[in-house]
Structure 1
Amino acid sequence: MLNSLFIKNYALIEQLNVDFKDGFSIITGETGAGKSILLGALGLVLGKRADLSILKNKEKKCVIEAEFAIKNYDLKNFFEENDLDFENQTIIRREILPSGKSRSYINDTPAKLNILNALSEKLIDIHSQYQTLELSNTNFQFKIIDALSSNQEIVSEYRLHLKSYQNLVKKLEKLEAFDRESKLQLDYNLHLLQELQKAELIEEEQEIIEQKIEKLNNVESIKLHLAQTIDIGSNEEIGIQNLLSECNSNLMKIVDFSDEYSEIQKRLESISIEFNDIIQDLESFQDDVVFEPTELENLNDRLQIIYSLQKKHHVDSNSELLKIQEELEQKVDAATHSTENISLLKEEIEAKEQILNELALQLHEKRKNTLQELKDKLETKLATLGMVNARFKIDITLSDTYTENGKDVLKLLFSANKGENYGELKKVASGGEMSRIMLSVKAILSNYTKLPTIIFDEIDTGVSGEISNKMGEIMEKMSENMQVITISHLPQIAAKGNHHYKVYKEDILEETYSRLKKLTKPERIHEIAEMLGGKDLSDSAVAHAKKLLN
């Protein structure tokens, strides 16, 4: 249940802190006093979107905080699934900053709006005048029937399988589209693949071939420079090898005189050895440099094959060609195996359809068994609200289509008076009748759903007199199982509350503020008397107010 609500810098509210009790609470006040502001603030803390227009002081942040007692409502799993700390007294806080940014917290843990929305559905039902239109919504009608049928677990299981089924169907549609497209392209892709496979490409091959061709095209120059280098290095008279050898001999004669000389001699000897190896390698290179026209022709032919493939596929390297080859292999493989994959997927879809059909049939049978009970309960409730001739015609038939509510097609028709044709609620029921029907529905649901709190926002619109008295009795009865908070403009309903709060405006200097206070018994008498007879209180209005409260 809702324990308390704290509001700061919201609309006409500078700061407000109100404690709520269990049972039946009433909120009254003149039109425009700020009753809707309270619901707007509560809606924000429960996950509705906000904008900067709600800030009273545009330079300060808006803070709304609601505390809920949730010990007895089996919500621990929800908190664990969403990585939240579970507390018997759970606090939800929402902050709207002057920059426009919004922050939300559940027990001081940051939470996204979708989490707030999901949690709020388990904590509180805020019925607005607009929500009465839901009566004509098929999903809402199924919700009523499923509550009476105890179908919640079956519906949840069905929807999980439905989501999986829909994903499989989408997957099949994509696979079939791919199959059609890939088969059109199969011959061409296969030709491209075979062409690349025949080329037997190697990743670094192009660079190696280009180097070999460059070498063969410059054989004479290479041989000339190798010969000159070898001659400079190994000439018997002035060659570098002989000069290094002479240097080494000279140093050998003084190595015993100093470690420094010995070290430099070793370094020179190392250079001499390395240089000798270089000359040997150059001589080996010289032997290998042979002009081979046939090899050059073969290398050029191979390079032209590579260049041609690169040009055809608009790439610059063998690595890119090999990547294209891999992609073509996958496409060809997918095209050749897609029929098999489609067949397997269809089998999986058929198995899922069997599960859905079984669950949908269970829902259908349980719903059918509940229709008469729902019809009787609704008509009985409405009779107490002055609609003695109200009748419902509810019919459920099985279709071939899967929806989120199973395979049922629901037709709920209504007639308010004797001899009147049945029709859709939104077409044949007046505003006052819709309010009474919705209250009856909520009263019935309260016996089947474990919801902590319900708030009615002027559900008494369009009714008066004895009917409003009966509506008050129904809400009073509902408050035995849950916390009921009602915003009302009718004294008959206001008098039935266990607790009574008044919303009013107060002008201070150049600003208007919305206030809320819990009324004492004398204040309740005064408020209800005003609701009965206006600001100028008469003795009869006061007496009537006392009678209503008693």
Structure 2
Amino acid sequence: MLLNLHVKNIALIDEADVSLGDGLNILTGETGAGKSILIDAVNLALGVKTARGLLRDDETPASVELLFHVSGREKKQALRELGVVPEEDGSVLVTRKLSQGKSICRINDETVTVSRLRAVTALLIDIHGQHEHQSLLHKSKHLEILDAYARHEEADVKARLKEAYGRFKEAEEELSSYEIGEEERIREMDFLTYEINELSSADLKEGEIPELELRYKRMVSSGKIMECVSRAMEYAGSDCGAGDSMSRAVRELSEAVNYDDSLSELLSQAEEAESIVSDLSRALSDYGSELQFDDRELSALEKRLDFLHGLQMKYGETYEEMIGALESRRERLEQLEDFDGRKKKAQAAWESAKHEAFLLAKELSDIRKVEAFHLTESIRSALVDLNFLDVQFSMEFSWLDRITANGCDEMEFLISTNPGEALKPLGQVASGGELSRIMLAIKAVLADTDDIETLIFDEIDAGISGRTAQKVSEKLNDIGRSHQVICITHLPQIAAMADRHYKIEKTVKNGRTVTEVTKLGEREEIAELCRLLGGAVITDAVEENAREMKELAKTYKC
């Protein structure tokens, strides 16, 4: 459940803090007061791309915070699988800050990516607006709705279909590798043979290239190296070098220790130093004698390195990549040499994988058809509650001629809103107001199987009034019995049904227009209902009507 919404520096909102509760939360206000801004702010916190001009002040960071309370073991486990651990009290704080074109997303003070933010918030809140109503005109949305309704019944077969489809695509890719003509096959075999011979004759050895590169560096730098080594030998040598100095130090200390035994430790150190310098001198001499190269050796090394670098450019930088290239070419050559036999096997494997996938798609389709009956009956019943008195509602299936990871079904909702009229696709029948009611009916049905606790409805009242508006308010209240519902509305019938009522209005502060959100008390709710009912002039009859609407709503809730 969404406990709190905090918005700062977004469009007309300087700063707004809204505490929400369970049941039906209603937001009302004059046109242009900023109701849509709140929805934009919530969408922003859910990871939706920001619109230009959304920040109120470009110099001041903007932010949106959503504080949720999460209950239920399954929901907490789902969040943990996404790397989010609710606090001990079940709270999850979602924050998104915008500053100078940069966006920072956090969940419980941990910085997250936008994609992860979307995945997490998709488990917590669902927003329904005019755009989603229009999505009902697209058949792909209808399949999505059915699968959401039947997700538990479909889960096992869908998982098996996904695996089978993966095997089918692999078999299809394997089979496609045989879609070549005889001339092309011969050309490819000749080229593969050349590459295999080139790699095989190279006698590749692991670690050879870096070792040769090091040797080559030593060879081309041998003059400079020898110069440095010679000077080092001179400084460490026994003729006026460090070795000679240490020998003298040992002789002097050897004589002194005859007079003072306490110098014996220093004598040992001097003797050890003399030995180290002597060893260094011999090692430098040995290194210098080994640092002898002839032009033929250098030429051979250069030739080998050039050859290996050429192989790197063609087959891969590392030894492992080049060996892998050799193996893959040998496999492909074997494939082409036994072309007909292997093609038949690939064809058989593809047909088998396709058959398996189609069987699972048929199994999934059978489940969908059963669940579609239950879904459409439930939606039809909900539509009757929403003042579609003689409505018929069903789903029409068609079978694709291709397999997909989601089966072979294509489906479409059909509706008839008047007696005697044939069932037709939604787009040919439903008006804007009817689409909003149909979507509400669908959400009401899905709410019984959906574990998303918070639902936001924006423009759910588009194109409706009178008795229909009353029915919509009752349906929203029914959903609010098991979910937290947040609804922005212009209709008094819906506003009267509120468990909590918030007013959005524009005021002027310090010479700037700002939007504020205020929770209304009982008297203020009546005043707002009067505004929705009567407009500019509020008469006693309008106020009495408002009170009566509120009482009727309380009666319905009981």
Give the shorter-chain TM-score range. 0.7 to 0.9
The amino acid that maps onto 2:451 is K
Which amino acid counterpart does residue 486 of structure 1 have in structure 2?
A: C
Give the alignment of 1:368-447 within 5 angstroms. Answer: 368-447=369-448
The residue aligned with 1:42 is 42
> Deviations for 1:86-106, whole angstroms, at most 9, x for unmatched residues?
331100000101x21100011
Question: Cα deviations across residues 167-223 of structure 1 (Å, max 9, x unaligned)?
Answer: 62574377447998665232244257558878999999xx9xxxxxxxxxxxxxxxx
Match of 1:30 in 2: 30
Consecutive unaligned residues of structure 2, counting only runs of 5 or more, are 213-250, 253-281, 283-288, 290-295, 316-321, 552-558
Deviations 1:137-184 (A, max 9, x none): 333322332344343523751574267347625743774479986652
Q: Which residue of 1 aligns with 2:67?
A: 67
C-alpha displacement of 1:379: 2.3
Corresponding letter in the other structure for 1:141: H
> For residues 16 and 177 of structure 1, do their structure 2 counterparts lie closer, same or farther at Cα, with a shift above 3 Å needed?
farther
How many pairs were matched up?
453
C-alpha distance after superposition, 1:321-344 (max 9, x if no partner):
676796885465133233578777
Change (3 A) 1:26 1:158: farther
* Distance in 2 of aligned mates of 1:387 and 1:529: 28
Match among 302, 305, 308 for residue 319 of structure 1: 308
In structure 2, what is the Cα distance between the partners aligned to 1:55 and 1:472?
Answer: 34
Residue 336 (str. 1) matches residue 342 (str. 2):
no
Q: Which amino acid is the alignment partner of residue 92 of structure 1?
A: V
Instruction: Give the percent of matched residue pairs that are identical in Structure 1 and Structure 2.
Output: 30
Residue 201 to residue 510, structure 1, CA distance change in 2 (3 Å): closer
Mapping of residues 252-291 of structure 1, within 5 Å: none
How far the C-alpha of 1:385 sits from its partner, in A, is 2.4
Q: Is the 8 A contact 1:151 1:363 kept in 2?
A: no
Stretch of structure 1 that moved more, 433-442 or 338-347: 338-347
Q: Distance in 1 between matches of 2:14 and 2:464?
A: 34
Q: Does 1:93 align with 2:95?
A: yes
Give the 3-state SS of the residue equivalent to 1:360 in structure 2: helix
Are the aligned partners of 1:154 and 1:363 in contact in 2 as well (CA < 8 Å)? no
Q: Which amino acid aligns with 1:89?
A: S
- Alignment counterpart, residue 187 of structure 1, candidates 164, 186, 190: 190
* Bigger mean CA deviation after superposition, 328-337 or 126-135: 328-337
1:294-309 matches, within 5 Å, as: none
Identify if the C-alpha distance between structure 1 residues 48 and 192 changes in structure 2 by more than 3 Å, giving closer, same or farther.
closer
User: What is the aligned partner in structure 2 of residue 290 from structure 1?
Assistant: none
**AA paired with 1:317?**
D
Q: 1:397 deviation in Å? A: 4.0
Q: When the two structures are superposed, what TM-score results if normalisation uses the length of structure 2?
A: 0.72
Q: Which residue of 1 aligns with 2:493?
A: 492
Encode CA deviations 1:488-532: one digit per residue, 9 max, x unaligned: 100011001111011000012421000001100000000001100
Q: Is the 8 A contact 1:45 1:93 kept in 2?
A: yes
Rounded to whole Å, the distance in 1 between the matches of 2:361 and 2:455 is 31
Which residue number corresponds to residue 5 of structure 1? 5
> Amino acid of the residue matched to residue 122 of structure 1?
L
The residue that corresponds to 1:468 in the other structure is: 469
Equivalent residue for 1:154?
156
Q: For 1:330-373, what per-residue CA distance to the aligned partner results, in whole angstroms no more than 9, with x for missing partners?
A: 46513323357877776765565455334323321222223332
* Aligned residue identity for 1:333: R
SS of the counterpart of 2:94?
Answer: strand
Q: Which sections of structure 1, spanning at least 5 residues, go unmatched?
A: 208-258, 261-273, 275-280, 282-298
Matches of 1:73 and 1:115, distance apart in 2: 21
- State whether residues 201 and 322 of structure 1, in contact with CA within 8 Å, keep that contact through their aligned partners in structure 2: no
Alignment of 1:538-549 (within 5 A): 538-549=539-550
Tell me the SS of whatever aligns to 1:413.
strand
Q: Say if 1:52 and 1:58, in contact at 8 Å, map to a contact too.
A: no
Shift of the 119–200 alpha-carbon distance from structure 1 to 2, 3 Å rule, reads closer
SS in 2 for 1:15: strand
Match of 1:213 in 2: none
Alignment pair present for 1:454 and 2:455:
yes
Contact 2:47 2:114 in 1 (8 A): yes
1:515-526 → structure 2 map (5 Å cutoff): 515-526=516-527
| Residue matched to 1:286 | none
Residues 359-409 of structure 1: CA distance to partner in whole angstroms, max 9, x if unpaired? 323321222223332332222222232222222242224444223432212
Q: Structure 1: how far apart are the matches of 2:383 and 2:467?
A: 13
| Separation in structure 2 between the aligned mates of residue 153 and residue 414 of structure 1, nearest angstrom | 28
Name the counterpart of 1:289.
Answer: none
Within a 5 Å distance, the mapping from 1:157-168 to structure 2 comes to: 157-158=159-160, 160-161=162-163, 164-165=166-167, 168=170
CA distance in 2, matches of 1:100, 1:195: 54
SS in 2 for 1:443: helix
Change (3 A) 1:318 1:546: closer
Report the 3-state secondary structure (helix = DSSP H, G, I; strand = E; otherwise coil) of the residue aligned with 2:39: helix
Instruction: Give the counterpart letter for 1:78 in structure 2.
Output: A
* Matching residue of 1:221: none
Counterpart for residue 54 of structure 1: 54
CA distance in 2, matches of 1:538, 1:45: 42
Aligned partners of 1:166 and 1:33: how far apart in 2? 55
Matched with 2:554 is none
Q: Using a 3 Å threshold, how does the CA distance of structure 1 residues 169 and 453 change in structure 2: closer, same or farther?
A: farther
Is the CA contact 2:168–2:353 (under 8 Å) kept in the aligned structure 1?
no
Report the secondary structure of 2:36's partner residue. helix
Distance in 2, matches of 1:199 and 1:5, equals: 68
2: CA distance, partners of 1:507 / 1:201: 79
Q: How many angstroms apart in 1 are the aligned matches of 2:328 and 2:372?
A: 55
Residue of structure 1 in register with 2:224 after alignment: none
Secondary structure in 2 matching 1:317: helix
Go from structure 1 to structure 2 and tell me whether the alpha carbon gap of 1:198 and 1:488 turns closer, same or farther (over 3 Å shift).
closer
The answer on whether the counterparts of 2:492 and 2:532 sit within 8 Å (CA) in structure 1 is: yes
**Bigger CA radius of gyration:** 1
